[in-house]
Structure formats: C-alpha cells, structure tokens
Chains A and B, each alone.
Chain A
Amino acid sequence: MTTVEKPPYERPIGYGRLLRKEDPRFIRGKGNYIDDINLPGMLYGAILRSPYAHARIKSIDVSAATSLPKVVAVITGKDLEPLKLAWMPTLSQDTQAVLATDKVRFQGQEVAYVVAEDRYAARDALELIDVDYEILPAVVDPRKALEPGAPVIRDDKEGKTDNHIFDWESGDSAATDAVFAAADVVVKQDMYYPRSHPAPMETCGCVAQVDPIDGQLTLWATTQAPHAHRTVYALVAGLPEHKIRVIAPDIGGGFGNKVGVYPGYVCTIVAALVTGKPVKWMEDRSENLMSTSFARDFHMHGEIAATKEGKILGVRVNVIADHGAFNGTAQPSKYPAGFFHMFTGSYDLAAAHCKVTGVYTNKAPGGVAYACSFRITESVYLVERMVDCLAAELGTDPAELRLKNLIKPEQFPYTTKTGWEYDSGDYEVTLRKALDKIGYSELRKEQAEKRQRGELMGIGVAFFTEAVGAGPREHMDILGLGMADGATLRIHPTGKAVLGVSCQSTGQGHETTYAQIVGEELGIPPEDIDVVNGDTDRTPFGLGTYGSRSTPVSGAATAVVARKVRERARIVAAAMLEASADDLEWEKGRFFVKGDPERGKTIQEIAMGAHGSVHLPDGIEGGLDAETVYNPPNLTYPFGAYICVVDVDAGTGKVVVRRFLAVDDCGTRINPMIIEGQVHRGLTDGVGMALMEIIDFDEQGNCLGGSFMDYLLPTAMECPDWETDFTVTPSPHHPIGAKGVGESATVGSPPCIINAIVDALKPYGVRHIDMPATPGRVWEAIQKGKQATA
C-alpha cells in the first residue's frame, strides 16, 4: 500500500486559505525577473535624460560617446525620424516623444539611447554625449499653465497656442446648482491630491531579441498588459503582429506603473533591430521615479450641500488635473478623467456634478497609476473629506453622518447621479461591523479624556465604494481595444489542467487564485493545475491587469471556461456511463447518475475518456479543452468601512497611526490569505500618501522626489499591525459573485488617515490638511491654530 504524505497544511480544492503556488521559486531566489534574463551576446542599453524641465535642443554631439570602446551604437531622435519612431502615440491618443528632437519638456525626458557591451560602459558613454540646450521658462503650476501668455509646452502640435488638454464634465450642472441654492448648509474645501509614484520595487525594463532569419521579435518586458503592448508595437512600429511575442516574466510589483508603453521599450526594440543582437535595458531608480507614470496630481475644489438635519443633498467638484508634458494617462478612452465621476461615493444624493480640466505642464507624463482604479482614489478622497468637513460644520459625529446617508440595501442596483450602476451592497452592516469591532464609542471616550489632558488623538472614519473590472468593451476601450479578457483551459488525458489567462500577475498570486477557481468549478486539486500568464504566444488575447481587473474579468473568464469544460465533461461522462446527459448530477470533481451515486465518473476519468475509445454522440469531437472571451456586463463594486486611530505629537507634529481596521466587502472570497495581503498593501499605500509620499518640483521644474532619499515610502516602522475583517455581498452579475479587491485599500485608506489627523487637530480649529501630512505641515497647522485661538 502506498501512503501519501500529507502536506504541511490544508489544501482546499476550491476556495479557502491556500499557500501560494508561486512562492517556492521566490523564496529560493529563483524568480525570473527582467534583469535576470541573460542571452548570449546580449548588449545593454542606457538612456540619456534631460537635466532641464523645458529647453530647446540646439544640437547633440555623440561622437565622443560613439568612439568609446565597448560602445556599439548611440541612437538619437534624428535617427528615429526616418523610421517614424521619434514620436509615439500615448494610451490617451496624444503623442509622446520617444527621443526628443525639438525640445525637452520635462526633467528626465529621454534624449539619446546608448548601446554597449556592458551596463557600466553604456553609462560611461552617457556622460560623453554633448547636448547644447537653450533653456526655456518652465511651467510647473497647472493653474499658471492655463493663464494667458504662459509658455506653450506642446508647440509640436500644430496650431496649439495654450496648455489646455481637455474639459470633461459629468452629472447635471443645473440640477446640482438648484440643489445647492436651496440647501440649508453648504461647505466648501480646496484640497490637493499630491503627485505620487507607484514605485514598484522592480523598476521598468525589457530585453528585446530579433530573429535575423524570420524577423520574429521577442520582447521580455515589465508589462501588466502584454497583449495590449503587442498590439501597440504592431501599430506603432508597423511590425506584423504575428511576428511579435511579448513575455512578461515575474514582475516585481506594478501598481499601474507598468501599464504604459515607455520610450525605453521602443528604443530597445530599435536597438535590437539595428544591432542584430539581443539588448537589455533596465531603468535605475531615479529614472523610474522621474520619468515613468506618476499618479494623482489633482487640484480639487469640493462643495457639499445638506439639510441642517444632516441629509446630504449634493456634491459639486471642480478639478485641475496636471497631466505633465504628454497626455499619457491610461484609462478607457471615453473617460479622460478616469472614473473620477465616482465622487458621489457611497451616498444617496439628489444631484452631483464635476468638471475636470486637463493641463500640460513641464513634468513627467502620467496620472493614472498607483492602484487608483482609474482615479477613484481621488474621488473617494474628495467625498470622504467633504463628508467630514460637513460633519465638523454640523457638529455631528462623522460615523453617524455616514450612517444617515449611505445608500440602503433595497436601493441596489443603485444608479448614481453620474451614471454608475452599483451592483450590490449592504453598506450599513459593514460600517456597523467596523464601529463595533474597533470599539468606536470607547475610542471617543478615550479621546475626550486625552483632550482634557492636552493630548492629540484622532479617530478617522471613511467609507468607500470602488468600481473595478472594466469593461464592458462597448463602453470601455484603450486605443480601440475593448476591455475584455480571454481564458483557455486545456485538460490533459490524465486530468491535469493548464489554464491560460490574458491578465498578468505583478505579485497578486494569479497562479494560485485561478487554480482555485478551476478547482472549485471542476474539482481538480490545485497542484494539478498550472496557470500561465504573461506570454502572448501561450495565452489568449485580453487587456491585462490594472484597475483591479484580474478577478472581476479574468477570474470570470476562468469560471466560464471551466464551466464549458464541465458541460463537455457531462456529455463524455454520459457516453461513458451509457446514461443520458440530463440524468447526470455534478458533485465537485465527479458526475454520477441521479439516484445511483455509485455509478459515476471522476473528472480525471472523464478526461481520459474524452481522449479514449468510448463512442461519443454525433457532433462531439472529443477532448475537454475550451476557450472563452469574457466581456463583463458591468463593473463590480466592492466597498468597505475603514477606521483608524492616530496620535499626534503636539511638539513635533509627528503622526503615528496607532490602529487601523479595514472591513472590506469584495463579494465571494477565493483565497482569504491573498485578499488580506492585498488589503494590507493598500493600507500601506494610505500611510505613504497621507504621511510621506510626494513628487514635488521647484520653480525651474527640477524634480524633488527623484530618489528614495527624497521620495519616502513606508517601512515596517510606520505601519501598525493591520486589523482586517470582512462582509460578503456577492456581485449579482459575476459568474462566481467575486469583486476585485486589489486597490480597495489604496482608495479607502488615505482619507481615513487624513480624517483622523484633522480630528486630532480639532482643538486647534483645523478643518483640512493636505497630504502628505508631514511633521512640518502638522506642526504649522498647530501653530496657526494656536495663534487663531490666542
């Protein structure tokens, strides 16, 4: 008798806590990231970047660099012009310089690309390139950029005489004005959501290789959307798409930073074509922080209207959005401000309106990144701060005010005043659970006692609703590519399975989660399922991973394709059992004849049978393999109630987040361990954004956040021991009822912490403080409050 040793943990077939399938390679140092790829004869690329924010290029002399030993080639924009590659389209249908030819428009912009035999030689050569610049006045403040007479940044665009990109509105302006005119109470607040950066631990990079015989391009790249990238390269470079293979190997974090197509990728492809050798390019940290997709940079003016009893009636917002030098935001093309019109939050309003104005400045391009769910971070921050401002104005408890105004369960599906259809929710239950669990009333008592003693303790409350899992594709596309995702499921004769998905893990644990979905649907154990993602030759087409799309879209595709397999298995099992398919019943992993449970076939037996000699009905070809494309009927709407406690040192202004409780509802929970990890990550983003992170600029447009010395990220020292809990409200339209969760905490936590800090500073009459609430800013707010009350 053979005994099988039990693994050291429970292994559910289907949903439940399951250790990750990807971890054994990572904990051995055997992950395979871009910079780990080494090909014979490989060359190294390095990029010369502009030291100025705005300057005209008078000349570029590369002769000294070219003559350096080990240097193979130096490429400038002039070399790219005949290839029509000096400029490329952005994901927002603007254009972006690949290598600057006329002007540089932000500090860190790409000017030249060196190819050398090793990475040190490539860097040496950069220092020998002589660029003659004529410095131009830089436009740093987007409000000044809109003033008449401001220097025109995009004079490359024919007829462009200002720095305006777009105006975009949502909601009903007249109805909102009417609601505000009739309201008892109107509160207004300006707030700035600072420019920040996703800063994944692995920077961006790629390796390009071109087969000299058949012209096949293989690009290993840090991309969250390998299929979309392949199509973009085909369109931009005119390469035949079937001759392009994009491979995203292990990715060291993405958070939206690895959605865009960056000039470095294009240059590396050109370098591989020109030299005939594989070329690797890897950013350094400063390049990553200074040139790749930043996040936020929203200057918001919010207004909230309510009755004197505290019924919220309307919200009105005006935004100036700083998009940098090229409009390179990555969001569905119909939505230039992303999903900012989610600013109505979790509340039942009578009217709402927003206007967003996009502006060019002499800063790096981007704006939609950093786990923002297409700018829902900004919208939730706005509305959750406004609700707290209203609570302060009314003298109401912020939790009570929210409870009074949350959308009621019977109102779902709920259509917001800006046109979103929230799929499901039971908000009050979730908020009450959070209040009970953290001991809200006891905390208020503790706070009152501390205030008596002059100690500054704050309690922050925030409630958020997210919209994740874009499309449907008829409403949402990027460069004409509809936001849907494919899945293929192959079942080998022995019942082992290989799932191919179009999304791309950047650490979320897709290899585990999707194996669990297949396991739940087919009863195949997780160790018998391999999940393949990130290789356009081995996976079906789809738009990739960002905006928490993976579970809502690819997770749905996985469930659908597994159900297709199951229905084929039913027909094969019926043939094997000589029964009618309609007479079979399914239990996880097995079909059996109704009323005769002993007479059945396991999925593994059926897999063999599907390739065996059993006579199958006419029209059934054999095999169980299936494929699907999932076009989501709507987004999914996860939500959550967050409460935190902060202590502020009145002498130094230092804020310590003492406790943070997140109660999340992401519908059906596939792997609670992974969900908890996703929530923890987002809460850490909240600590970073609320307290530390900002990419700032001086008046000349010099980036002041270009290294980890200046761009501060939370360490273990700044983070509390996160507390989490959950409620479960399944999505009614998702095949397994799941909603995304990857960005929920990034969306919900920043306003929670700022609300807590403002609450702590209440004795000083503080109503708002902009992020990041650094010790200096908090200390200043305290001093101002002291002067005002003196």
Chain B
Amino acid sequence: MREALDPWQFVTAAYAIGAITTLAMVAGSWLSMRRAEKRRDKVREIQ
C-alpha cells in the first residue's frame, strides 16, 4: 500500500498561489505609490 499522488497538482497549486500573490503585491504597491505621489503633487499645487 503506497500513496500515489499526482505531483503536477501540487506544482500547479503552488505556482498559482505564488503568481497571484506576487502580482497582487506588485500591482498594489505600484498603484498606492502612484496615488500617494499624485496626492502630494496636488497638495503642493494649492498655495
């Protein structure tokens, strides 16, 4: 009695989680940076 698991299911799951999380982190950090810099520039314009 030996366990037989499909390795590709585990590989696919790991890469799906990894890709989604990494891309979400990159996009989130980039967008919040752009938002913060836009706000700063707007605040500077108003005298």
Tell me, yes or no, whether A binds B: no
B interface residue numbers (CB < 8 A to A): none
